[in-house]
Structure 1
Amino acid sequence: MNSYKIVVGVDVSKNSFTATVLYDNKRESFEVKSDPVEFEKKIKPYLKKFKKSDMLIIMEHTGVYHLKLANYLYENNYQVAVVNPFSIRKFMEAKMTRVKTDKTDSYFIAQYGRTFFDGELYKPKPDVEKEIEVKLKILEDLQHQLTNLRNQRESLSHVPIPIKKLKENLEYYDELIEKIEKNIKELEKEIKELTKKNYQEEYKLLKSIPGISDRVIGVVIAMFGGFKRFKSVKKAASYAGLNPSPYESGASVKKSGSIKKMGNPYARKILYMAALSAIRFNKYCRELYERLVSKGKAKKLALVAVAHKLLRQAYGVLKNRRPLR
């Protein structure tokens, strides 16, 4: 139980904000269109009795839809919390609720905020981090398109039509592929320039880790915020979905943990791809990989462990402000 005297749980959707307000022994609800100004009008009456510092407004991380409200409330000096939807879902499961409505969701978000929330309050990312993150997402989309086009071209190349006609049709794909490849290179260059210019020390420290690419550095800076908002490497690994979940039952059934894909999928993917390079050039990662494989672990599982190791190395150099030796 925290010290907030009034908690507002908000279920955010594309078109509306549904809220439940808990204070004293009362429970009240309201819904407005997805307009932060309209939302504030609904909560202002409560400020006649409570200070802003007594009020916690809590919502789930919804990708992008929560940002408009969270940023507006932050700029107007409200206490705002943005939490992982998985935490809310597990809380609802523990309460054994079977009802699923926006109003019910907002109530359980408020209950979670009043009962369990003890994390850091929301703070918007600096503009340069937002810019890097947007470029990383565009880069991911372009690479998906590139993979699809290459696969489609390969499939078309086996269609039994005259060679001249086939060549003409394949040229359409070749032009698109060439253009996307050029865009990818330009974006990678822009991401590198942004990180080097705005985070010179962090870039240099992360570059001391063999196997860390400029894209990984972009992810660490923009998505992890340089680890500034993580109190431990365990929490950072959890954010990326790289923490194994142990399975035990009684005294006899014990299984090795598996990775639960509940964190940031893009961060996890980039770290996993970096692990492929790290087992070649990073002696600590190579030793870990070889040791796990020699013990009979699957290569994919060993690579996940290497990705986790890379994350720990990145966390260590930034927190200690010393390069990897």
Structure 2
Amino acid sequence: MEDPPRRSSSDGFTFSLGIDVGKTSLELALRSEGDIIARTTVPNDQEGHNALVDWLFEQGASPKETCVCMEASGDFEKAVARRLHQEDYRVSVVNPRRIKGYASSQLQRTKTDSADAALVARFGRREDPRPWEPPEAAESRLQEPTRARQALQKEKTRAQNRLDGAEDEAVRRAHENLLGEIERQIQDLEEEIEEQIEEDPEINDQCSLLETIPGTRLQTAAIVVGELGSPERFESARQAAAYAGLAPRHRESGTSVRGTPRMSKVPDGRLRRAMYFPAMTALRFNSAVKAFGDRLKERGKETMVVIGAAMRKLLHICYGVLKSGRPFDPSLHPGT
């Protein structure tokens, strides 16, 4: 018995727009019936986004007839995705690895912005990527300070490493001063994050629920709420973990290839990185995560595999708490 034909994003759409997103510009390729019918480049700013909408209407590509696809590109895609979403276009923001894999499957050898835009348009038309939804306003506002804090934490680690390796006294003083300034900025951002949480009752309730989970403090809770968004976006905890880049990627073939499982990757991995230290704490003090980790250790799993699994388990618990609206109950999260 033959499989039913796969439903494509081209069903119901006459046009497919591919956007190659850059920091300062957007390369556009518009397809119809599989052929490129128009190309252009616009600035990646508000004026350019207005020009993009006008250009689409000039081509006759209305929201009801056009699907739009673009790669996630370090947040440079969010403003244009939001603008097109506001105009009622069906927008998909895709992991660059999917596009890269698709390019390989199509044997594409040309690597230019224009060729990339055309490829993204074809991908969006044929592969039916999930429609993008903008984050809620409060969650979106929370992303900016939490992301800035994460960036400063990375700078703090670098500054500390440089300080540890410095022997010249003047150089050490310079690194100490820089480290102190970074720490002050982190403290300022943490206060800003706490104020934003307190000002929004719904966000405050969500963070309070997450803080009932051993291993999850307020700053981690803020990242989970800001990056994960509403749990209603996901059908399951497994899907939320995949979104965060916490789904294991197995590498096996026949009887001879047995690669070590590794985490899948997402464009920025902020949520994945945010779970690392909380998972380390949870492996000691969270009964559900500790039991889970102990079982993996008994099976001979490597330390980093155990930590990765604990990160995933902890995010599953976060999702469950947010989805149910109830505080953490270890009996509902067995260590399996």
Q: Which bin holds the TM-score, normalised by the shorter protein?
A: 0.7 to 0.9
Q: 1:269 aligns with which of 266, 270, 273?
A: 273
* Pairs within 5 Å for 1:259-298: 259-298=263-302
Contact map agreement 2:25 2:42 (CA 8 A) in 1: yes
Write the distance in 1 (CA, Å) between the matches of 2:264 and 2:77.
24
One-letter amino acid matched to 1:149? A
> Residues 158-185 of structure 1: CA distance to partner in whole angstroms, max 9, x if unpaired?
44xxxxxx4x765444443333223222
Q: Cα offset for 1:196?
A: 4.1
Name the residue aligned to 1:63.
74
CA distance in 1, matches of 2:247, 2:41: 38
Structure 1 CA distance for aligned equivalents of residues 88 and 234 of structure 2: 23
- Structure 1 residues 39 and 299, CA gap change in structure 2 (3 angstroms): same
Q: Indicate the residue corresponding to 1:162 in structure 2.
A: none
What are the ranges of 5 or more consecutive residues in structure 1 without an aligned counterpart?
Answer: 160-165
Match of 1:187 in 2: 189
Distance 1:134 1:89 in 2: 28
- Asked if 1:85 is matched to 2:100, the reply is no
Deviations 1:52-88 (A, max 9, x none): 2221121111113222322222223322222221111
1:108 aligns with 2:119: yes
Hey, what's the Cα distance between the residues in 2 that align with 1:298 and 1:63? 32
**Could you say what secondary structure the match of 1:28 adopts?**
strand
Distance 1:25 1:254 in 2: 40
Give ranges in structure 2 of 5+ residues lacking alignment.
1-7, 330-336
Alpha-carbon distance between aligned partners in 1 of 2:164 and 2:92, rounded to the nearest angstrom: 48
Partner of 1:28: 37
8 Å contact 1:196–1:203 — kept in the other structure?
no
Q: Do structure 1's residue 139 and structure 2's residue 139 form an aligned pair?
A: no
Q: 1:172 to 1:72 in 2, by over 3 A?
A: same
Q: Which residue of 1 aligns with 2:304?
A: 300
Give the superposition deviation at 1:14. 2.7
Alignment match, 1:177: 179
Task: Quote the Cα distance in structure 1 between the aligned partners of 2:85 and 2:110.
Answer: 31
Q: How far apart in 1 are the matches of 2:183 and 2:25?
A: 39
Q: Aligned letter for 1:113?
A: G
Identity %: 27
Measured in 2, the distance between the counterparts of 1:9 and 1:316 equals: 36
SS class of match (1:108): helix
Q: Does the aligned pair in 2 maintain the 1:241–1:264 contact within 8 Å? A: no
Q: 1:65 and 1:263 mapped to 2: Cα distance?
A: 12
Residue number in structure 2 paired with 1:230: 234
Q: Is the 8 A contact 1:7 1:56 kept in 2?
A: yes
Tell me whether 239-248 or 281-290 shows the greater mean CA deviation.
239-248
- What one-letter code is carried by the residue in structure 2 that aligns with 1:142? L
1:195–1:221 CA contact under 8 A, matched in 2: no
